């Protein structure tokens, strides 16, 4: 029987490429998460305790640890998003999807010869990609329960509030984290608005092109595409 985790991983792999492993096997408990958090340094300790992804390369292999808090799991078990997306489960679903996305894109990058790095551009790249992909997943959840699958302006406003407006990064004390999440959230909000203007087939083509770019190229593409759209509007 498929799980919510495996269904989301499968969706991402159909969109991009397979990683050859079941990422659900990379789930870790709170004790192991705390150990890895201590090794990650002071800045990492300010990140959310609801869900985390830990990455490192060793012996020519990518090591992945995905942690979800008990609270987050309980919310999704009580209010399974596959039965409908609502105010009770969206706060838990967003980080749930984002961590799967972090792990999957890190694995795809590793397959291309790129190892996890402490460089800020690597972290921003994974964060921007996750915010874009997670918003598109949320749209799919909403569309599934709309007949005939039409998403209203109110639906989009509600999703964008939870995905971008309530997660802009201003609550971080660390300047680096604040800058990272403020920029990536702003860029993801702009890019997803552009994506919503595209036909489904064109949107898939665009996000596959986008996925293959590095962070600076992603940022440049977003600014170029959204500036062009603003001028033509």
List, in order, residues 6 or more apart from 131 with CB less than 8 Å away: 98, 163, 164, 184, 185, 188
Give every strand in the sheet of 51-58, ordered side by side.
27-28, 61-68, 51-58
β partners of residue 62: 57
Q: What does residue 205 show for φ and ψ, rounded to 5 degrees?
A: -60, -40
Distance (Å, rounded) from C-alpha 130 to C-alpha 148? 28
> Taking Cα atoms as reference points, which of 199, 200, 187 lies closest to residue 226?
187
What is the value of pTM for the model shown?
A: 0.92
**Helices 175-196 and 215-232 sit at what angle, rounded to 10 degrees?**
50
- Model confidence over 4-20: pLDDT tens digits? 999 999 999 999 999 99
Helix (H, G, I), strand (E, B) or coil at 20: coil
Which residue is it, tokens 């919310």? 75
pLDDT at 93 (0 to 100)? 97
**Per-block mean pLDDT, blocks of 10 residues, the chain (233 long):** 91 96 95 87 71 92 95 95 93 96 96 88 96 96 77 92 78 83 95 94 96 96 81 53
DSSP assignments along 168-192, one per residue? SSTT-SSHHHHHHHHHHHHHHHHHH
């Amino acid at each position: 029987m498929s799980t919510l985790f495996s269904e989301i991983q499968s969706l991402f792999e159909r969109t991009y490429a397979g990683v050859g492993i079941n990422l659900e096997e990379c789930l870790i408990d709170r004790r192991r998460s705390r150990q890895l958090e201590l090794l990650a340094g002071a800045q990492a300790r300010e990140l959310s305790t609801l869900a985390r992804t830990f990455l490192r390369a060793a012996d020519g292999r990518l090591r992945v640890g995905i942690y979800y808090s008990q609270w987050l799991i309980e919310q999704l078990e009580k209010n399974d998003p596959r039965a409908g997306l609502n105010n009770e489960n969206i706060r838990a679903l967003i980080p749930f999807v984002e961590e799967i996305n972090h792990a999957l894109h890190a694995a795809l990058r590793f397959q291309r010869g790129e190892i996890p790095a402490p460089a800020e551009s690597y972290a921003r790249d994974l964060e921007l990609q996750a915010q874009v992909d997670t918003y598109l997943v949320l749209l799919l959840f909403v569309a599934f329960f709309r007949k005939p699958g039409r998403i209203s302006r109110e639906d989009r406003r509600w999703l964008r509030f939870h995905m971008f407006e309530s997660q802009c990064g201003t609550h971080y004390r660390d300047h680096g984290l604040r800058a990272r999440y403020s920029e990536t959230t702003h860029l993801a909000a702009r890019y997803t608005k552009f994506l919503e203007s595209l036909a489904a087939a064109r949107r898939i083509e665009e996000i596959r092109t986008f996925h293959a770019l590095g962070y600076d190229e992603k940022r440049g593409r977003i600014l170029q595409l959204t500036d062009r759209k603003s001028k033509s509007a």
